[in-house]
Amino acid sequence: MIGARSALLGALLAVAVAIAYQGVVRLVEASGAVDQPAVILILLLSAFLGVLTAVATRMLRLPGATAPTVLVLGWTLVPLMLGAIPSAATQLFGGDAALSSGQALALATATVAAAVTLGVPGDRR
């Protein structure tokens, strides 16, 4: 039962990560940042997204490997699946599974942020 709960909550977190990342990219594009400042903003916001994912993983009492897995699935698989659904709402968050160099760097940053956050011991009672 624990495995099914982890898989279901992990899938929901992956969808949330995909939507949040697209929101981050659209927010940076709307801010008017170009080239280097845009990459730096996306990296900072991706690290924050990784920390939020790790905190959500810890709050839901999911295994520690769930956070990096959710981040990778949210960046690669979920946009591909959302892009395959013929709906205007899902096309907004859909995409292909190929990562650009900036996206790969943002994913690595978010994954490291999640791993560091999960490595910090929680409150011991």
98-118 tens-digit pLDDT = 778 888 888 899 989 888 888
**Residue 73, CA atoms < 13 Å, CB-side half-sphere:** 17
Instruction: Find where tokens 């039962």 sit.
Output: 1
CA 53 to chain centre: 7
Burial 84-98 (b: 16+ CB within 10 A, else e): eeeeeeeeebbbeee
Residue 89: pLDDT over 80: no
pLDDT band at 125 (very low <50, low <70, confident <90, very high): very low
In this prediction, residue 76 carries a pLDDT of: 84
pLDDT, tens digit (0-9, with 9 covering 90-100), for 10-56: 889 998 998 888 888 888 888 888 878 888 888 889 999 999 999 99
Structure tokens at 34: 């170009």
Structure tokens at 51: 């920390």
CA dihedral sign of residues 69, 118, 9, 26 = negative
Lowest-pLDDT choice from 6-20, 51-65, 83-97: 83-97
pLDDT beyond 70 at 1: no
What whole-number distance in Å separates Cα of residue 61 and Cα of residue 80?
Answer: 28
What's this model's pTM, rounded to 2 decimal places?
0.81
Q: Which whole-number Å values give the CA distances from 102 to 41, 56, 61, in the listed order? A: 11, 25, 31
